[in-house]
Chain A
Amino acid sequence: MVRERNNVFNNIDWTLVIIYLILVLMGWLNIYAAVYNEDHKSIFDLSQSYGKQMLWISTSLFIGLVILLTDARFFSTFAYLIYGITILSLIAVLLVGSEVSGSKSWFEIGGFRLQPAEFAKFATNLAIARFFSGQHINVRDFKTRVIPLILLGIPGLLILLQNDTGSALVYSSFILVLYRMGMSGNLLLAGALVVLVALSTLMVGHIYVSGLLVILAGLLFAFMKRNRRNIINLMALLALGIGFTFSVEYVVENFLEEHQKTRINVLLGKELDLKGAGYNVNQSKIAIGSGGFLGKGYLNGTQTKYNFVPEQSTDFIFCTVGEEWGFVGSLVIIVLFLYFLIRIINLAERQRSDFSRIYGYGVAAILFFHFMINIGMTIGLVPVIGIPLPFFSYGGSSLWAFTILLFIFIKQDANRNALL
């Protein structure tokens, strides 16, 4: 019993590991297809992305192994330290980092590039988990409410300063963790409403949305109990709502950059810019749409192979799946991801340690956000926000970071029966 408890390989959740391996392998196969080149068929050719990805995969496996062999308490103990170091690296990258396609978020060391923003995700998750697993947590307490927001806000803001909006938005996924920690469900609903109102404002203009809000308020007023408090609340909500619609337009007009504005407009169907902002999404939809039921077959995707889809080995890797494996392949990937996410949630719930559970929720939330945004954008459901599909997309930093993120959780889970 003791021996079993100590042997990490007997306690780890092999399902997660296997799905992880499947996803990584499928990712690699699709990267190979995306950049497939008759002249460089060798899978270890380091001049090609699939050769490099092979290197990232093997190093990731090594990192995973190291994590599994590390004492589980290491991560909770040093959570804030790791967080702190990451924050410092985020600041450093702003000062000495190099700019790649508009984002100043890369350290260049030798021939390799490292993106600290990727690592900030698990570091922040560690810090959040550590905070909520502390002894003096009271969700009614002001401090308990504010400190997580600060923990999330610092990396978010720093990454925003790097001009990497996509990675910054990832921190909004922690709303799921906060929800699980006791944040009011109304806030989640309110969050959804905010998105809804914002989108409809951008689509039809604030005048109509404000008008609609007034009508809704009127209906509410007609049917609710008209006491003084309710009326004041209603008026306040209405004022807030109308103010919000105005500010949405104002922010989009004045704070977003031109390319972000067009991306949003294209998504909303207000602009049809097939050569510019809409090009990626249109080509991506063409690639996926032309896949049909069974796909064109491995290495037979014309749209991806001949580079019609930009960024196809990184952000648009799902196009290769859609084109070459068709609806069936896409279904497999989506189901696999969902199963993976649900599995993480279920494992998180079985944790006795708060740290592990909260960390698990964080893992699921981060992975889900990437999954939702990345695939959503390739099929034209969300604006183009450049974040990778976990385990799939080409890139060393992101694969390493996701591996670390996941394997810390696997390690915590394997250790769940240890004495607290």
Chain B
Amino acid sequence: MANKSLASRKQTVIAIFVATGIIFLGRLFYLQIIDDSYELSANNNVLRYVTQYPARGLIYDRNGKLLVYNEAVYDLMVLPRQVKDIDTLEFCRLLDITPEGFVQRMKKAKDYSRFKPSLFEKQISKETYGYLEEKMYRFPGFFVQPRTLRKYPDPMGAHLLGYVGEVNQSIIDKDTYYKSGDYIGISGIEKSYEENLRGKKGIKIRMVDVHNREVGSFQNGLYDTLAVMGNDLYLTIDAELQQYGEQLMQGKMGSVVAIEPSSGEILAFLSSPTYDPNLLVGRVRGKNFSELSKDPVKPLLNRAMMGQYPPGSTFKMVNDLVGLQEGVLDTHTHYTCQGPGSSPIRCTHNHQSPLDVYVAIQQSCNPFHWQVYRSILNNPRRKNVKENYTAWRNHVMSMGFGHKLGTDMQFELSGNVPPAEKFDAIYGKGRWNAMTVRSLSIGQGEILVTPLQLANSAAVMANRGHYIVPHVVKSIGTDKSVKDKFKKVTSTIEPAYFEIAVEGMRQVATMGTAKWYQIEDITMCGKTGTAENPHGEDHSLFMAFAPADNPVIAIAVIVENSGFGSTWALPIASLMIEKYIKREVSRKEVEEKMINGKLY
């Protein structure tokens, strides 16, 4: 009986077994099926998402000459959680960093995340990487990511091309495409064509074992995506002309912009002093940038779009064109000039008097243009001076002044053609007249233009009344032209009147202020300017196009603080035109004098 009851204890024992089994199965059900956080942890353990950085698109000039390419470097990344028992001293020696630097970098990485990779040392050269690669297995937690850096075979066009840098937090916050450590175009073409140049990032999922050794790709690369290289850009820039311009402008402050009038394509776009764009690449960028930004001659400033100058006499045809359009001036109109004794604006040249519009442009007669300007502003057709001034301003602006042209580069300034309200504010409503704002007639006073606008106005003259928005990119890739993006803008002046202005400009180059720098076989139409500069020596300006019929180049040159337009700006522009049209410059002594001119 006792045995029998003890035998029934079998049930209890079995019950204990079964209960244990059920508890286990319940727990397993929870772990494996209900709670999916373990799967995530497993992936975190074993999967490494390695961004595949695409190479940026290359940049060529209009003739297919390579201007910008990429060079391979390596970013050393660290996963703090996995760093243990490494020979820190040897590691520091390999990387050429101090032990303190090591500790600092590790702390920064740990502060970011122990489980996510962060940048330990960026842009290690190919050589250093070579040493490191062999010993990598001894430094668990570290790995490299290949990156590319910009390289400029023939340094030129620094302001035009711009530079590339690492994204900052505000960019990351704004655009989800970018992650910490990504590169982005910061200025110039690199910025404005960022979306074309950057390409498409890829991702490679790799599996690692507990020692962080790579053990293969995840699912044979099923979920990997390849990086797609950025689109190449073909510029409108003529590299040879650009380089020649930079040579001519060395030692001078100022800018040269050349445009193909028929298309708006910018042939040369330079700001001087310039810098070697290779200086703003990679690890040296920070140091060089701060040095460049401290330089008193401001090499980082893009004077071609951000320098604003009074146009001076180069503006006179514009004023005449408004006069012609408004009907207060024709080819028979003559004004007298008393030379230096003229009032209220004296004349700085010796010439015949009375004179017509052709001679007035050719000789750059101040009193003539003041008279034209006064007639416009006192035109009885409109109610008052203010309305006449506004009409004058609208005509001027239709020729590309006083507003951004909408080019494909960033940070363009708009220059200044003050609205009438501005004078109302300064002098009081109805308390100003032509006399008050007379400086505008000769491109002085409040009016400011950028070199780009000035070159564009030369293109307007060349085209007899219209311009195509100037731009620097010809096509994205070899086939995708961007021509249609840049529209034709027609001025409010009738083309017929431009023939008068152009004739004046032709005479400038043949017998006027520019006659000393004629180009053999090429008829140039131009206008010198000497802009009074309240801050110092006058600026030397010249704008021109050539040839007179079927123009292929319109150009503006500004040389700061260098006196008369005919001394520096004119010869440089003339050489540029010769170079562009003939590909060879015959006036060697002029060329040499320009290249060697040191003005600051």
Binding site for B on A (CB under 8 A): 176, 179-182, 185, 188, 283, 285-293, 302-303, 305-308, 322-323, 326-327, 330-331, 334-335, 337-338, 341-342, 345-346, 349, 361, 364, 368, 371-372, 375-376, 379-381
Find chain A residues with CB under 8 A from B42 CB: 286-287, 289-290, 302-303, 323
Interface-lining segment among B33-41, B511-519, B529-537, B555-563: B33-41
30 CB-based A-B contacts, threshold 8 Å = A285-B31, A289-B37, A289-B39, A290-B41, A292-B39, A302-B42, A305-B209, A306-B46, A306-B207, A306-B208, A306-B210, A306-B215, A307-B209, A322-B31, A327-B32, A327-B33, A330-B28, A330-B32, A335-B21, A341-B17, A342-B17, A345-B13, A349-B7, A349-B10, A368-B16, A371-B20, A372-B20, A376-B24, A379-B27, A381-B23
B32-A326 in contact (CB<8A): yes
Find chain B residues with CB under 8 A from A335 CB: 21
Find chain B residues with CB under 8 A from A326 CB: 32
B33-A180 in contact (CB<8A): no
A-B contacts besides A302-B46, A306-B210, A379-B31, 20 pairs, CB < 8 Å: A181-B6, A185-B9, A185-B12, A188-B12, A286-B42, A288-B28, A288-B32, A289-B37, A289-B39, A290-B38, A303-B42, A306-B207, A306-B208, A308-B45, A327-B33, A330-B28, A345-B14, A361-B13, A371-B20, A381-B27
Q: How many pairs of A and B residues are in contact by the CB < 8 Å rule?
A: 122
Find chain A residues with CB under 8 A from B31 CB: 285, 288-289, 322, 379
B29 contacts the other chain (Cβ, under 8 Å)?
yes
B107 contacts the other chain (Cβ, under 8 Å)?
no
Looking at the assembled complex, report how far the CB atom of A131 sits from the nearest CB atom of chain B, in whole angstroms: 17
Q: How far is the CA of A302 from the CA of B211 in the complex (A)?
A: 13
Q: Which residue of A lies closest to B209 (CB)?
A: A306
| 10 A-B pairs closest in CB distance | A289-B38, A290-B42, A306-B209, A289-B31, A302-B46, A307-B210, A290-B39, A327-B32, A286-B41, A338-B21
Looking at the assembled complex, report how far the CB atom of B214 sits from the nearest CB atom of chain A, in whole angstroms: 10
Find chain B residues with CB under 8 A from A327 CB: 28-29, 32-33
Which of A180, A181, A286, A338 has the most chain B CB within a 10 Å cutoff? A286
Find chain A residues with CB under 8 A from B226 CB: none
Q: Which of B6, B14, B24, B210 makes the CB contact (< 8 A) with A308?
A: B210
A303-B46 in contact (CB<8A): yes
Q: How far is the CA of A338 from the CA of B15 in the complex (A)?
A: 11
B25 contacts the other chain (Cβ, under 8 Å)?
yes
Cβ contacts B537-575/A at 8 Å (1 or 0 each): 000000000000000000000000000000000000000
Looking at the assembled complex, report how far the CB atom of A416 sits from the nearest CB atom of chain B, in whole angstroms: 15
Find chain A residues with CB under 8 A from B35 CB: 289
B435 contacts the other chain (Cβ, under 8 Å)?
no
Binding site for A on B (CB under 8 A): 2, 6-7, 9-10, 12-14, 16-18, 20-21, 23-25, 27-29, 31-33, 35-39, 41-43, 45-46, 207-211, 215
Q: Which residue of A lies closest to B215 (CB)?
A: A306
Query: What is the interface of chain B mostly: helix, strand, loop, or mixed?
Result: helix
Find chain A residues with CB under 8 A from B27 CB: 379-381
Find chain A residues with CB under 8 A from B209 CB: 305-308
Known: A176-B13, A286-B41, A381-B27. A322 touches B32 (CB 8 A): yes
Q: Which of B21, B23, B29, B45 makes the CB contact (< 8 A) with A286?
A: B45
Find chain B residues with CB under 8 A from A285 CB: 31, 38
Looking at the assembled complex, report how far the CB atom of B25 sits from the nearest CB atom of chain A, in whole angstroms: 6
Q: Which residue of B lies closest to A282 (CB)?
A: B41
Find chain B residues with CB under 8 A from A182 CB: 2, 6
Looking at the assembled complex, report how far the CB atom of A259 sits from the nearest CB atom of chain B, in whole angstroms: 19
Which of B25, B32, B43 has the most chain A CB within a 10 Å cutoff? B32
B14-A180 in contact (CB<8A): no
Q: How far is the CA of A292 from the CA of B43 in the complex (A)?
A: 13
Q: How far is the CA of A180 from the CA of B12 in the complex (A)?
A: 9
Q: How far is the CA of A307 from the CA of B239 in the complex (A)?
A: 58
Looking at the assembled complex, report how far the CB atom of B322 sits from the nearest CB atom of chain A, in whole angstroms: 78
Find chain A residues with CB under 8 A from B37 CB: 289
Find chain A residues with CB under 8 A from B45 CB: 283, 286, 302-303, 306, 308
Find chain A residues with CB under 8 A from B43 CB: 290
B25-A286 in contact (CB<8A): no
Find chain B residues with CB under 8 A from A380 CB: 27
Q: Which of A179, A288, A371 makes the CB contact (< 8 A) with B13?
A: A179
Q: How far is the CA of A188 from the CA of B9 in the complex (A)?
A: 12
Looking at the assembled complex, report how far the CB atom of B14 sits from the nearest CB atom of chain A, in whole angstroms: 5
Find chain A residues with CB under 8 A from B13 CB: 176, 179-180, 345, 361, 364
Find chain A residues with CB under 8 A from B24 CB: 334, 375-376, 379, 381
Find chain B residues with CB under 8 A from A364 CB: 13, 17
Q: How far is the CA of A330 from the CA of B24 in the complex (A)?
A: 9
Q: How far is the CA of A338 from the CA of B43 in the complex (A)?
A: 33
A331-B25 in contact (CB<8A): yes
Q: How far is the CA of A296 from the CA of B543 in the complex (A)?
A: 75
Known: A327-B28, A338-B18, A338-B21. A308 touches B33 (CB 8 A): no
B32-A293 in contact (CB<8A): yes
Q: How far is the CA of A306 from the CA of B41 in the complex (A)?
A: 14
Find chain B residues with CB under 8 A from A302 CB: 42, 45-46, 207
Q: How far is the CA of A290 from the CA of B215 in the complex (A)?
A: 19
Q: Which residue of A lies closest to B42 (CB)?
A: A290
Looking at the assembled complex, report how far the CB atom of A391 sits from the nearest CB atom of chain B, in whole angstroms: 17
B17-A338 in contact (CB<8A): yes
Q: How far is the CA of A372 from the CA of B27 in the complex (A)?
A: 13
Find chain B residues with CB under 8 A from A346 CB: 10
Q: How far is the CA of A185 from the CA of B8 in the complex (A)?
A: 12
Looking at the assembled complex, report how far the CB atom of A107 sits from the nearest CB atom of chain B, in whole angstroms: 31
Q: Which residue of B lies closest to A365 (CB)?
A: B13
Q: How far is the CA of A330 from the CA of B10 in the complex (A)?
A: 26
Looking at the assembled complex, report how far the CB atom of A40 sits from the nearest CB atom of chain B, in whole angstroms: 15
Q: Which residue of A lies closest to B34 (CB)?
A: A289
Q: How far is the CA of A372 from the CA of B33 in the complex (A)?
A: 21
A307-B21 in contact (CB<8A): no
Which of B18, B28, B207, B211 has the most chain A CB within a 10 Å cutoff? B28
Looking at the assembled complex, report how far the CB atom of A133 sits from the nearest CB atom of chain B, in whole angstroms: 13
B211-A307 in contact (CB<8A): yes
A288-B46 in contact (CB<8A): no
Looking at the assembled complex, report how far the CB atom of B17 sits from the nearest CB atom of chain A, in whole angstroms: 5
Q: How far is the CA of A327 from the CA of B27 in the complex (A)?
A: 10
Find chain B residues with CB under 8 A from A289 CB: 31-32, 35-39, 41-42
Known: A287-B42, A306-B46. A379 touches B6 (CB 8 A): no
Q: How far is the CA of A326 from the CA of B41 in the complex (A)?
A: 16
Find chain B residues with CB under 8 A from A286 CB: 38, 41-42, 45
Looking at the assembled complex, report how far the CB atom of B45 sits from the nearest CB atom of chain A, in whole angstroms: 5
Q: Which residue of B lies closest to A348 (CB)?
A: B10
Q: How far is the CA of A371 from the CA of B27 in the complex (A)?
A: 15
Find chain A residues with CB under 8 A from B6 CB: 180-182
Q: Which residue of A lies closest to B28 (CB)?
A: A330
Q: How far is the CA of A302 from the CA of B17 in the complex (A)?
A: 32
Find chain A residues with CB under 8 A from B21 CB: 334-335, 337-338
Q: How far is the CA of A176 from the CA of B215 in the complex (A)?
A: 47
A180-B46 in contact (CB<8A): no
Q: How far is the CA of A379 from the CA of B28 in the complex (A)?
A: 7
Find chain A residues with CB under 8 A from B14 CB: 342, 345
Q: How far is the CA of A361 from the CA of B16 in the complex (A)?
A: 13
Find chain B residues with CB under 8 A from A376 CB: 24
Find chain A residues with CB under 8 A from B28 CB: 288, 322, 327, 330-331, 334, 379
Find chain B residues with CB under 8 A from A185 CB: 9, 12
Q: How far is the CA of A181 from the CA of B2 in the complex (A)?
A: 11
Looking at the assembled complex, report how far the CB atom of A21 sits from the nearest CB atom of chain B, in whole angstroms: 21
Q: How far is the CA of A349 from the CA of B2 in the complex (A)?
A: 15
Find chain A residues with CB under 8 A from B32 CB: 288-289, 291-293, 322, 326-327, 330
Q: Which residue of A lies closest to B208 (CB)?
A: A306
Find chain B residues with CB under 8 A from A381 CB: 23-24, 27
Which of A289, A327, A361 has the most chain B CB within a 10 Å cutoff? A289
Looking at the assembled complex, report how far the CB atom of B236 sits from the nearest CB atom of chain A, in whole angstroms: 54
